[in-house]
A and B are shown apart, each in its own frame.
Chain A
Amino acid sequence: MIKVQNITKTYGATVAVNDVSFEVGKGEILGFLGPNGAGKSTTLKIITSYVVADSGSVYVNDVDALKNPMEVRKAIGYLPESTPLYMDMQVLEYLQFVAKARQLSGSEAQSAVDRVVELLNLRRFLRKNIGHLSKGYKQRVGIAQALVHDPGILIMDEPTSGLDPHQIIEIRELIRKLGEEKLIILSSHILQEISAIGTRIMIIKDGRIVADDTPQNMQRSLSDRSGLKARIQGPEQEVVAALGKVGGVNTVEAISGSGSDTEYRLTTGSGGEISQGVFKAVADNGWTLSALSPDEHSLEDVYLELTKDSAPQGASGNGVAAAEKAQPPESETTAPVEAEETVSEASEDDSTAQEGT
């Protein structure tokens, strides 16, 4: 179990991690999500005792990581960002070295290396130089390294970045399997990644946790604000006016198309059923309804809203509350594509700013 209490870390004028607290237990796969430079890696480095926090404390299995880093290191398997390995070593030689550095005795080391070689399918490459392996296999060696001592806790910083889709699926499967008996923390700046494997998502932004919930809850929290998308053939202004009068409809907005064939987005304030009303309104006016589909907020929306630069600082804890606070009023009438663009630009700016420091 990992207990992080009020950790703060600054690099010069940059606050990398700002008063972060959370707890993770066995069997959880915690996905740490946030734009580049949000403080994910620094938090992981503090837990693994590579970096010492300016203030706050970390307990791993009730052991104080500051007072007894060696005990904590034994309990953790760690794969840092971009998988640093000794490229001049052979796979077997490297894993044996790691086993020794992990203080496994001769026979323990032998069976430990055998176990991870089997688990990660490295048998064919034992005598190969790590530097000559493909990126996917280097990643496997990195994960093997983290598992040699069979730790109860596995921490991985961006474990699938730079891999091809096949490799990503393999690694995800592996992580999911490992998660059945280990506590896993992984970080990513890609949402699909985290929502595919995580049992819990924590979104971090500017060194603060802005949301912390299960992927399902996060999605549900936004379904209240969901609505419909309708493609209607009819005069645009009249359609907007007519749909606006339908009971339960909050806003109507033409989002694409023009003239007689336009797509509209309707939002409901109450979460009530509006599709019948829409259908009736269209039929009454003699227009044609060519498509009608639910417009659910995806996790992507939560993430984009939370990691926007305009997101209020200090919103933390429950994902629902945080998400709603972060929602600027005008975004209800903004097309999703535009929102996405502004946000991804913002996060890129953010990352360059962080890297420069």
Chain B
Amino acid sequence: MRNISTIFRREVSAYFNSPIAYIFIILFVFILGFLFFVFFPFFSQTSPDLRNFFFWFPWVLSIFIPAVTMRLWSEERRSGTIELLLTWPVQAWEVVVGKYLAGLFVIAVSLALTLVVPLSLASVTTIEWGVIFTSYLGALLISSVYIALGAWASTLTSNQIVSLLIAIAFSLVMVGIGYPPVVKFLNGVEGLGNFIGWFGTDSHFREFSKGLVNPVGLIYGLSVTVFFLVLNNLFVEGRKF
């Protein structure tokens, strides 16, 4: 536990010691705000509706999170610091978990700051805070999936940009397979779309954004996260670098 906390604190300070975290958070809040207040109302000719706000989360997160996770292992490999890290009396899985939690922390802070959007609407309309809560819970859950995925992708290469692109590609697939039009298309073969779609992040997140805390969704998020963390650990332990 102590080792995980040591790694976690070092990683969080690495994010906030450099401009990365700040740029990320500002861009993230700005883009979500832009999509919600400007982009969506323009096309739908309606006033801002919070359901549309959350609609974008799985997509925006799938592109933004790899930018946070790309450095986690790639940078250690590039600079060679991984050789020190893994010859200190720290287990590989402790490092894996510490790094994952640091990524989760940065995303949690970013998500918390997007609360300004619902808060800014609170004066003009009634807000269902229960729905807001479950939506954010869902957002954190799918973020966790993307972070674990991105951290694993980052073990594959010492080049951060390559790691970013791999993670974005995988993350987009994770959203895409659960995206309703894709599910509908794949359902051309009986039930195939629903089956594949279950592994995507989108369908589970939509349940949460309706105000439902579906245990299946929770299990989905946690188990996919654990799957990628285990993969991450295997790649670090069986390293060829």
Asked if A86 meets B89 with Cβ closer than 8 Å, knowing A97-B6, A97-B10, A101-B3, the reply is no
Contact A102 B89 (CB under 8 A): yes
Give chain A nearest CB distance to B186 CB in angstroms.
41
- Kindly report which residue of chain A lies nearest to residue B237, judged by CB atoms: A52
Interface size of A by CB at 8 A reads 26
How far is it, in angstroms, between the C-alpha of A102 and the C-alpha of B86 when the chains are bound?
A: 12
**Is the CB of B81 closer than 8 A to any CB of chain A?**
yes
Residues of B within 8 A of A103 (CB): 2-3, 89
Contact A98 B83 (CB under 8 A): no
How far is it, in angstroms, between the C-alpha of A194 and the C-alpha of B91 when the chains are bound?
A: 34
| A-B interface contact total, Cβ < 8 Å | 60
How far is it, in angstroms, between the C-alpha of A84 and the C-alpha of B10 when the chains are bound?
A: 16
Contact A74 B83 (CB under 8 A): no
**Is the CB of B123 closer than 8 A to any CB of chain A?**
no
Residues of A within 8 A of B2 (CB): 100, 103
Asked if A87 meets B10 with Cβ closer than 8 Å, knowing A70-B91, A101-B88, A145-B84, the reply is no
Residues of A within 8 A of B17 (CB): 88-89
**Is the CB of B46 closer than 8 A to any CB of chain A?**
no
Asked if A98 meets B88 with Cβ closer than 8 Å, knowing A88-B14, A89-B17, A103-B2, the reply is yes
**Is the CB of B18 closer than 8 A to any CB of chain A?**
yes
Which of A70, A85, A102 is B81 in contact with, Cβ under 8 Å? A85
How far is it, in angstroms, between the C-alpha of A101 and the C-alpha of B89 when the chains are bound?
A: 7
Residues of A within 8 A of B86 (CB): 50
Give chain B nearest CB distance to A96 CB in angstroms.
10
Contact A84 B84 (CB under 8 A): yes
Residues of B within 8 A of A73 (CB): 87-89
How far is it, in angstroms, between the C-alpha of A50 and the C-alpha of B90 when the chains are bound?
A: 12
How far is it, in angstroms, between the C-alpha of A85 and the C-alpha of B10 when the chains are bound?
A: 13
Q: Mark A70-102, 1 if CB is under 8 A from B, else 0.
A: 100110101011101111110001000110111
- Kindly report which residue of chain A lies nearest to residue B91, judged by CB atoms: A70
Residues of B within 8 A of A81 (CB): 80
Give chain B nearest CB distance to A148 CB in angstroms.
10
Contact A78 B91 (CB under 8 A): no
How far is it, in angstroms, between the C-alpha of A211 and the C-alpha of B226 when the chains are bound?
A: 50
How far is it, in angstroms, between the C-alpha of A70 and the C-alpha of B88 when the chains are bound?
A: 8
**Is the CB of A45 closer than 8 A to any CB of chain B?**
yes
How far is it, in angstroms, between the C-alpha of A50 and the C-alpha of B79 when the chains are bound?
A: 16
- Kindly report which residue of chain A lies nearest to residue B89, judged by CB atoms: A73
Contact B80 A80 (CB under 8 A): yes
Contact B14 A86 (CB under 8 A): yes
Contact B90 A101 (CB under 8 A): yes
Contact B84 A80 (CB under 8 A): yes
How far is it, in angstroms, between the C-alpha of A97 and the C-alpha of B80 when the chains are bound?
A: 17
Asked if A84 meets B81 with Cβ closer than 8 Å, knowing A89-B17, A97-B10, A100-B6, the reply is yes
- Kindly report which residue of chain A lies nearest to residue B18, judged by CB atoms: A88
- Kindly report which residue of chain B lies nearest to residue A100, judged by CB atoms: B6
How far is it, in angstroms, between the C-alpha of A84 and the C-alpha of B81 when the chains are bound?
A: 5
**Is the CB of A49 closer than 8 A to any CB of chain B?**
yes
Which of A76, A84, A88, A89 is B80 in contact with, Cβ under 8 Å? A84
How far is it, in angstroms, between the C-alpha of A145 and the C-alpha of B80 when the chains are bound?
A: 15
**Is the CB of A48 closer than 8 A to any CB of chain B?**
yes
Q: Mark B1-40, 1 if CB is under 8 A from A, else 0.
A: 0110011001001100110000000000000000000000
Q: Mark B197-222, 1 if CB is under 8 A from A, else 0.
A: 00000000000000000000000000
Give chain A nearest CB distance to B19 CB in angstroms.
11
How far is it, in angstroms, between the C-alpha of A85 and the C-alpha of B89 when the chains are bound?
A: 17
* Other 16 A-B pairs with CB < 8 A, given A70-B89, A89-B14: A50-B83, A50-B86, A50-B87, A70-B91, A74-B89, A78-B84, A78-B87, A80-B80, A80-B87, A81-B80, A85-B81, A86-B14, A93-B13, A98-B88, A101-B6, A103-B89
**Pairs of residues from A and B, 7 with the lowest C-beta to C-beta distance, nearest first:** A84-B80, A84-B81, A73-B89, A80-B83, A100-B6, A48-B87, A101-B88
19 contacting pairs across A/B (C-beta < 8 A): A50-B86, A50-B87, A74-B89, A76-B87, A78-B87, A80-B83, A81-B80, A82-B80, A84-B81, A84-B82, A84-B83, A85-B79, A89-B13, A89-B14, A93-B13, A98-B88, A100-B6, A101-B3, A102-B88
Chain B interface residues (CB < 8 Å from chain A): 2-3, 6-7, 10, 13-14, 17-18, 79-91
